[in-house]
Structure 1
């Protein structure tokens, strides 16, 4: 299984096995906030002939996915050149920060990937430099993980912009997965330059837009009263996940309560399969129906 070469704060690379049983049958998969794309890549390998549309509002992240689709070998070679010519990781970090918003799509893709590998938990423009990441994460093998993306991304629609059009566009047998910035950790400023994509995210707007679509969707969120109450009319599954968010504002990764929220029923067989996966991983879980989700504010 080819995994994402990107490190992402709060990314779902550790949760793919738990999410897959919840995915309904689909002909078109859309991910409006693709981020590191862990679930997308898993589904693309499992169902290679279906339609895929990935999107992100972060232009530099879009550049990475687009360039990885069109010329993965050239991208990997360029990143290798940066790695092999660099001995002072901190100086490289500050030089790349000064180049924010500059360059071609290709140059921005290179910049994004390098920063993703040398910052705390891949926070790029919102985090700080990590000497450990420079030595342990910015490696030959990490860069080589770019090359297989060309085949995986063939035929995939890749866009940059607001998530709403991706959710709202009509289609047949569409399934949408969303992993928005988490509500209760907005002050950690994990996404965008200086955290602007995290601090300015409108959670009410997302709920309103999701409530208007007929497509099936699955949403991952942090488990808190605000989110649980806003989505009380939907199926909710509560569980714990070890956050992959070691950064300079949060020095140690911590287990956090998560919610899977869906606008479709989660079948009993699916729940039993997921239960086995969660039990094997030592996770705590609690399936909430639409009827009792609102009353679970004090678990």
Structure 2
């Protein structure tokens, strides 16, 4: 095990994110490829909040080239702003934070939330800016359960949350993440574009929109594009392609068998690969009794040489 894994993790996600992988770092660490200390390129085609990426960058000095991607252009705008204009973003967030917290009533705070949500929804494909990044973060910090959900017109439609003192501007995290992002190449588009960076010393981590396992578990509408079973199949074909180059990959997804023991969708789809079931906490539910531990999948195209696991 690379001794650098014992370093303090200095990078953290700057967003709350449904399905964020911070809680799975230990399990993912246990199943990293044996040659992780010789990997020089890390690629994450569905970056989301970046929990795994920030952890790996903090833990493994040997990773010199990092490529991240997401089809959500508003999310990618934040990464680019934090990389290039962190102080401007902090200033904008501090202004919003002051206005918000000077409003002492719930109704007034909700009114501001709705006004800024409307401003955010007036954005267009060319309006990538510090202001839009700040609005995104504000909405993320003050909306219900930190969800990011848009409709078919790409309009953010999550209702106002009930937080007494949300941390709208996390200055330290933004500055730490900005430093780490200096070595990161940031793409925006279909995940297949990352294939041009593949080599035998490449490690992919896939965290795609999860396959819903119940009628109430569909939280993958973070873009106006659906990620249905056809997309799950297309992703598997992409995994086949990069696996053929000698690159290694790990993929996370829901475990349909958690709800229906006869639902072997992923077991059949990835039958030639290695499938592990790990415990994950379900935190996104309006009913507290529906939250708790559930199984998720980790799928790899490699096996660990040892059955022992390592602690961070």
Normalised to the residue count of structure 1, the TM-score between the two structures is: 0.81
Structure 1 residues 40-49 or 232-241, which shifts more? 40-49
SS at match of 1:261: strand
Give how far 1:90 is off. Answer: 2.0
Residue in structure 2 matched with residue 203 of structure 1 by the alignment: 232
Q: Give the whole-Å Cα distance in 1 for the aligned partners of 2:160 and 2:280.
A: 24
Note if contact 1:123-1:191 (Cα within 8 Å) is conserved in structure 2.
no
SS at match of 1:272: coil
The 1:167/1:93 distance shift into structure 2, 3 A limit, reads farther
Give how far 1:119 is off. Answer: 1.8
1:273 matched to 2:309: yes
Residue in structure 2 matched with residue 296 of structure 1 by the alignment: none
Residue in structure 2 matched with residue 154 of structure 1 by the alignment: 182
Give how far 1:33 is off. Answer: 0.2
1:33 matched to 2:49: no
1:62 matched to 2:76: yes
Q: Give the whole-Å Cα distance in 2 for the aligned partners of 1:250 and 1:81.
A: 34
Q: Give the whole-Å Cα distance in 2 for the aligned partners of 1:186 and 1:161.
A: 28
1:143-222 map, 5 Å? 143-167=171-195, 169-185=197-213, 188-192=217-221, 196-198=225-227, 202-213=231-242, 214=245, 215-222=247-254
Note if contact 2:207-2:253 (Cα within 8 Å) is conserved in structure 1.
yes
Note if contact 1:64-1:109 (Cα within 8 Å) is conserved in structure 2.
yes
Give how far 1:55 is off. Answer: 0.8
CA shift digits 1:78-115 (9 cap, x unpaired)? 11111111233322332233232343332221121111
Q: Give the whole-Å Cα distance in 1 for the aligned partners of 2:171 and 2:40.
A: 32
**1:92 aligned to which of 112, 119, 141:** 112
SS at match of 1:159: strand
Give how far 1:118 is off. Answer: 1.2
SS at match of 1:109: helix
Residue in structure 2 matched with residue 293 of structure 1 by the alignment: none
1:227 matched to 2:266: yes
The 1:20/1:40 distance shift into structure 2, 3 A limit, reads same
**2:166 aligned to which of 122, 137, 155:** 137
CA shift digits 1:271-298 (9 cap, x unpaired)? 3215x78xxxxxxxxxxxxxxxxxxxxx
SS at match of 1:85: helix
Residue in structure 1 matched with residue 292 of structure 2 by the alignment: 254
CA shift digits 1:242-266 (9 cap, x unpaired)? 02324x5888533221111001112
SS at match of 1:157: strand
Residue in structure 2 matched with residue 284 of structure 1 by the alignment: none
**Is there any run of 5+ residues in structure 1 with no aligned partner, and where?**
278-299
1:83 matched to 2:97: yes
Computed over aligned residues only, the root mean square deviation of the Cα atoms, in angstroms, reads 2.6
CA shift digits 1:222-247 (9 cap, x unpaired)? 1122112111111111121102324x
Q: Give the whole-Å Cα distance in 2 for the aligned partners of 1:259 and 1:38.
A: 17
Normalised to the residue count of structure 2, the TM-score between the two structures is: 0.78
**2:139 aligned to which of 115, 123, 148:** 115
Residue in structure 2 matched with residue 22 of structure 1 by the alignment: 31
Structure 1 residues 41-50 or 73-82, which shifts more? 41-50
Q: Give the whole-Å Cα distance in 2 for the aligned partners of 1:150 and 1:84.
A: 23
Q: Give the whole-Å Cα distance in 2 for the aligned partners of 1:186 and 1:162.
A: 26
SS at match of 1:266: coil
Note if contact 2:17-2:148 (Cα within 8 Å) is conserved in structure 1.
no
The number of residue pairs the alignment matches comes to 271
Q: Give the whole-Å Cα distance in 1 for the aligned partners of 2:199 and 2:167.
A: 40
